[in-house]
Structure 1
Amino acid sequence: MVKVSVVIPVYNAEDFIEESLDCILNQTLDDLEVICVDDGSEDSSLEILNEIASRDSRVKVFHQENQGGGAARNNALRHVTGEYLYFMDADDRVETDAFDEFYALSTKHDLDFLIFKATNYAEDTGEYFETPYYNMDRIRDFARGKVFSFEDLGDLIFNISVTPWCKFYNTKFVLESGAQFLEGSIFHDNQFFWEVLFNAERMYFIDKSYYIRRRHSASSTGAGDLRYINIINVVNNIIKLFVKYDQIDRFRQILYNKKVLWITTRFFEIRDEFKDDFYRAMKDDFSSEGDDFIGCLDEKNRFLFNAVLSSKTARHFDLMCKNYDLKKENARLKNQKKLPNFLKYKLKKHVK
């Protein structure tokens, strides 16, 4: 048994796959295997993988017809032999000392998985930048060098990035959890994350960025195309997992607000030519919710929910939301004008 299995789904990544594999094969911990699943690439990705595998026996290459990243990762899970498991995207990089540190901490604390931060790299500008989503500051403030369980986290479960490449897993734990990636969806990470999290008893957070996420126009989750409609099914599957693990009563209010937020956010991000299709799917889904759902919503999400149901078209809904935001901003400015001068000064100083 090797110490670490690295899973990399590959689709049309000929420009990046060699660089990504280099940072894995040059890890200071070299007792590893790399399982690459080519997901029906139409470029030279498969040829590149086979050539690298011919030079390094640690690289194992599998091929499947195009089914998406979720299916590719599930396929790879059938072949892993490592004590620990790491998922990586084919266009990203990880620090070359990462696995040494991950393995040492995981064995020392007998972890189900550990969590760490990531840095973004903008392909178009060459800039590196951080985001709150991958910094997970609230988790850092809570964890501070301690082992914790799902039960310990409480509402903080919603502050962990769902991405698998920000985690280092115990392979036996993952396989016994039965967690699988959602196939046929660009948001396939979510189902795997929640299933694993609900089973986790020993987690650990490292306040350090090891992963470099490449952001470019070819990314499936940044494309803004019709696949964004998948988010409706994904969110409903997440709610079903909360029911499965008897967590729905504990988190119902947060979860129902998250549903409205997650779905409407993708509506505003999808390209204009697909908004009508998204709107119809969103309206059909919201129409199935009852009074118990609506009663859990805060002011903004209740407005969004009702606006979806009462509007006639995607354009109408969009305008309703813009009008709502404008009214809120005007009310904020009006209230600010009513403040005493010394409070206006404090507020202005704080904003700066």
Structure 2
Amino acid sequence: MVKVSVIIPIYNVENYLEECLDSIVNQTLKDIEIICVNDGSTDNSLDIINKYAAKDDRIIVIDQENGGHAVATNRGMDLAKGKYLYLMDSDDFVKTDALEKSYKLAEEKQVDFVLFQAINYDDDNDAYYKTEQYSMERVANEVQDKIFNYKDLDADLSFDITVTPWTKLYNREFVEKCGARFPEGLIFEDNVFFWEVYLSANRICFLKDHLFYRRWHGNSSTRAGDQRFIDSIKVGDLLVDTFKRFNILNGEYEYKLLNKLVKTNFHRFKKIKPEFQQMFFEVLKETYENWVNNKLSYDEIKDKLNTRNSFIFDTILDNDNNQVVLLSVENYDLKHINKKLLSSRSWKMTEPLRRFKYRFKGKQ
């Protein structure tokens, strides 16, 4: 049995693929298999994979019709034979000792998965920078070198863990046993896979080392603002089902999840291209109606939402036109901004007067 199976779903990434493959084939951990799933690329990606495979017999090339990132990843996992799984993105790259370090820790601690840190790489400006989202310093400081699972962390810290699969080394037997899969035909699908694995895991450890480089570029599907943004609604609905199944859709987890979903859905509602806004809104309203009628009571939802998200939720349920909703929330936000400004202005105006009164009083 090889130590690590690296799964790389590939679709039209000819500009980045060689850097990705170089970072994998040159890993200091040599006992690996590299499963490259070409998901119907129309550029030179397949030629690049074949060129590397001709020089390295650890590379397995799978060429299939385009089915999406989730389909390609699931197929790679089905073919994997390694003790551990590493799920790589084809436009990113890793440090050459990433697999060796995470594998050694996984073996030492006998965990379901190892969690490690990542650095952002701005491809347009050739700049590297760290963020809390991928460094997860709060989580690292809490767990340190201890074995933990979700029951050991509060909901805030659990939601601070990035859902991306490329910051984890998974025990393959554990993943197969818990049945975690990427929901096919959707983007933002990492969320569902992460929570399925995270809530199933009994033993997790944190490797405090920035081993992965997350490339930011304009071609990312999660930034496109096209019709696929509607997938975020569907993914959120799947998360509600997942949390209910694990019996944690209550208390602080319910509060965090519902507020996160309402906030994120509205953010993407604003960011989606105008021609898709009404379609997005209709799916969103139907989903929220389904929550109220079939999954959670209206009172339960309202009890968990903060003031702004509660207003957004009600406005979506009470209207049929996307522009009315957008303008209503914009007006709500402007009122609260004005209230803060007036409060701040009032303090700035009264404070000098207060000081003047004290000085004047002192001279009497």
Q: CA RMSD in A?
A: 1.7
Higher mean C-alpha deviation, range 287-296 or range 111-120: 287-296
Deviations 1:240-284 (A, max 9, x none): 111111212242232222221121121122122221211121122
Match among 304, 308, 313 for residue 300 of structure 1? 308
| Aligned residues of 2:237 and 2:287 also touching (Cα < 8 A) | no
**Structure 2 counterpart of 1:138, one-letter code:** R
Per the alignment, residue 148 of structure 2 pairs with 148
**Structure 2 counterpart of 1:164, one-letter code:** P
Per the alignment, residue 330 of structure 2 pairs with 322
Per the alignment, residue 174 of structure 1 pairs with 175
Per the alignment, residue 188 of structure 1 pairs with 189
How far apart in 2 are the matches of 1:171 and 1:50?
26
User: Within 5 Å, which residues of 2 pair with 1:13-92?
Assistant: 13-92=13-92
**3-state secondary structure, aligned to 1:115:** strand
How far apart in 2 are the matches of 1:341 and 1:135?
41
User: Within 5 Å, which residues of 2 pair with 1:221-232?
Assistant: 221-232=222-233
Deviations 1:221-256 (A, max 9, x none): 111110010111111111111111121224223222
**Structure 1 counterpart of 2:113, one-letter code:** F
User: Within 5 Å, which residues of 2 pair with 1:249-288?
Assistant: 249-250=250-251, 251-288=253-290
How far apart in 2 are the matches of 1:136 and 1:80?
29
How far apart in 1 are the matches of 2:216 and 2:9?
17
Unmatched 5+ stretches in structure 2? 293-297, 353-364
How far apart in 1 are the matches of 2:215 and 2:311?
35
Please report how far the alpha carbon of residue 336 of structure 1 lies from its aligned counterpart in structure 2 after TM superposition: 2.1
Higher mean C-alpha deviation, range 156-165 or range 265-274: 265-274
Given the alignment of the two structures, is residue 335 of structure 1 paired with residue 343 of structure 2, yes or no? yes
Per the alignment, residue 213 of structure 1 pairs with 214
Given the alignment of the two structures, is residue 3 of structure 1 paired with residue 11 of structure 2, yes or no? no
**Structure 2 counterpart of 1:277, one-letter code:** M
**Structure 1 counterpart of 2:63, one-letter code:** H
| Aligned residues of 2:70 and 2:189 also touching (Cα < 8 A) | yes
How far apart in 2 are the matches of 1:141 and 1:320?
41
**3-state secondary structure, aligned to 1:248:** coil
How far apart in 1 are the matches of 2:57 and 2:304?
54
**3-state secondary structure, aligned to 2:265:** helix
Please report how far the alpha carbon of residue 312 of structure 1 lies from its aligned counterpart in structure 2 after TM superposition: 4.3
**Structure 1 counterpart of 2:301, one-letter code:** F
Please give the TM-score of this superposition, normalised by the length of structure 2. Answer: 0.90
**3-state secondary structure, aligned to 1:287:** helix
Please report how far the alpha carbon of residue 192 of structure 1 lies from its aligned counterpart in structure 2 after TM superposition: 0.8
**3-state secondary structure, aligned to 2:153:** helix
How far apart in 2 are the matches of 1:103 and 1:116?
12
How far apart in 2 are the matches of 1:257 and 1:221?
20
How far apart in 2 are the matches of 1:137 and 1:31?
31
Per the alignment, residue 347 of structure 1 pairs with none
Deviations 1:172-219 (A, max 9, x none): 111111100010001111111111011111111223211111111211
Higher mean C-alpha deviation, range 46-55 or range 161-170: 46-55
**Structure 2 counterpart of 1:41, one-letter code:** S
| Aligned residues of 2:116 and 2:206 also touching (Cα < 8 A) | yes
Please identify runs of 4+ aligned residues in structure 1 that moved more than 6 A: none
**3-state secondary structure, aligned to 1:206:** strand
**Structure 2 counterpart of 1:76, one-letter code:** G
**3-state secondary structure, aligned to 1:264:** helix
- Report percent identity of matched pairs: 41
Per the alignment, residue 357 of structure 2 pairs with none
| Aligned residues of 2:102 and 2:207 also touching (Cα < 8 A) | no
**Structure 1 counterpart of 2:260, one-letter code:** K
How far apart in 2 are the matches of 1:306 and 1:336?
30
**3-state secondary structure, aligned to 1:27:** coil
Q: How many residues align?
A: 343
Please report how far the alpha carbon of residue 133 of structure 1 lies from its aligned counterpart in structure 2 after TM superposition: 1.5
Higher mean C-alpha deviation, range 50-59 or range 145-154: 145-154
Please report how far the alpha carbon of residue 292 of structure 1 lies from its aligned counterpart in structure 2 after TM superposition: 2.2
How far apart in 2 are the matches of 1:132 and 1:212?
14
How far apart in 1 are the matches of 2:131 and 2:29?
29
Higher mean C-alpha deviation, range 332-341 or range 78-87: 332-341
How far apart in 1 are the matches of 2:28 and 2:254?
44
Per the alignment, residue 110 of structure 1 pairs with 110
Please give the TM-score of this superposition, normalised by the length of structure 1. Answer: 0.93
